[in-house]
Amino acid sequence: MQVHDIQEKIDQLKNQLIYWERHLKDIQNICKHDFHKELFYKRCLKCQKTEALYY
């Protein structure tokens, strides 16, 4: 592989990552959360959204 090909592949993967991160946020925003608490965070059992309990 040439450097140009590798850079092109990296750019494609970055774009795919952005797409999937947005898709995940959309799913988590419409989820009716069912949180399970741990010691320092809580996590939704449906969409896996995690929120810190302490800052």
> Per the structure, how many domains does the chain have?
1
Residue 12 and residue 27: Cα distance in Å, rounded?
Answer: 23
Q: Range of 32's domain? A: 3-52
pLDDT at residue number 54 = 86
- 43 — pLDDT class (breaks 50, 70, 90): very high
CB 35 within 8 A of CB 44: yes
The pLDDT value recorded for residue 19 is 98
> Any idea which residue has 């590798």 for tokens?
6
Q: Region 12-29: what's the mean pLDDT?
A: 97
Predicted structure pTM score:
0.74
Distance separating alpha carbons of residues 30 and 15, to the nearest angstrom: 23
